[in-house]
Amino acid sequence: MTDLKNINFQFKARYYSYGKLNKKTRYLFIAFHGYGQLASYFIRNFKGLGEEYFVIIPEGLHHFYLEGMSGRVGSSWMTKEDRQTDIENQSAYLNEILLNVEADLKQNIKLIVFGFSQGFATAMRWVVRNNINVDTLIDWAGSIPNDLKPSLVEDVLKESEMLLITGDSDPYINDKSIVKMESQLESYKLIPIKVTYEGDHRIFPTILNKIVAEKIS
């Protein structure tokens, strides 16, 4: 007879940060990378935000070789296998990151949570399931998770601003998928600020900096 059992054990994981928490800091910016990326490379996209931003980049807990059995390594947030356990592990990891910096945060610092591609579903899921008080939630070319209770999303994000950012030549996002995302957000009673940029399925730092400067107060 085959039995499935789960165990709890201590787990060590890394994250990256950029900037300094000091009297000039106005925003804590937590950004979630996409599939196959690493935090050490992903963080480069956010180095132009300015000294008023303190940036944190968590990293997906799954690591793998991008091609074959050696070479470049990437990470991901989850697969369909043992999905619920992955979600629980992510929450524990992300909550610990926030706890790690919380003592240094000023009361007037605003929290911005950003997700690119696969990272957005993880970001939104973490925020909602853990009742994180977010000032701005940013979806850059990501999908909206469909496993969250609309009433819970509405309650947690009722005071939050949301940006929905898409590229006009993104091969993964088209008019149909945008309509679907807007329908999902409507079911959550969220009305996002929509931004379209010229480009494909990537983050362009100059575009990011411009959007942040214009849309985030």
Q: How confident is the model at residue 103 (pLDDT cuts 50, 70, 90)?
A: confident
The Cα–Cα gap between 212 and 76 comes to 26
Q: In what order do the strands lie in the sheet with 193-197?
A: 15-18, 53-58, 27-32, 110-116, 136-140, 161-167, 193-197
Match 């935000």 to its residue by tokens: 49
- Any idea which of 58-67, 70-79, 177-186 has the lowest mean pLDDT? 177-186
- Any idea which of 102-116, 120-134, 200-214 has the lowest mean pLDDT? 102-116
Domain boundaries along the sequence of the chain = 15-215
pLDDT value at residue 146: 86
Q: 113, 123 in Cβ contact below 8 A?
A: yes
Residues whose CB is less than 8 angstroms from the CB of residue 138 and which lie 6 or more positions away in sequence, other chains included: 112, 113, 114, 115, 162, 163, 165
What would the mean pLDDT of 138-143 be, rounded to a whole number?
Answer: 95
Taking only the tens place, the pLDDT of each residue in 145-180 is 988 999 999 999 999 999 999 999 999 998 888 888
Residue 23: is its pLDDT beyond 90? no
Q: 131, 156 in Cβ contact below 8 A?
A: yes
pLDDT value at residue 217: 66
What would the mean pLDDT of 117-121 be, rounded to a whole number?
Answer: 96
The Cα–Cα gap between 161 and 134 comes to 8
CA 150 to each of CA 82, 92, 155, 209: distance values in angstroms, whole numbers, following the listed order: 24, 23, 9, 31
Q: Pick from 189, 86, 113: which is nearest to 75 by CA?
A: 86
Q: Pick from 160, 157, 164: which is nearest to 142 by CA?
A: 164
The model's pTM: 0.95
The residues with which 58 forms a beta bridge, in sequence order, are: 15
Q: How confident is the model at residue 187 (pLDDT cuts 50, 70, 90)?
A: confident
How many Cβ atoms from other residues are within 10 Å of residue 136's Cβ? 20
pLDDT value at residue 123: 97
What would the mean pLDDT of 199-215 be, rounded to a whole number?
Answer: 95
Instruction: For domain 15-215, give the fold.
Output: Rossmann fold (3.40.50)
Dihedral, CA of residue 198, residue 213, residue 124 and residue 23, to nearest 10: 150
Q: 112, 88 in Cβ contact below 8 A?
A: no
The sign of the torsion formed by the CA atoms of 109, 193, 120, 196 equals: negative
| Helix (H) or strand (E) segment spanning residue 129 | helix 118-129
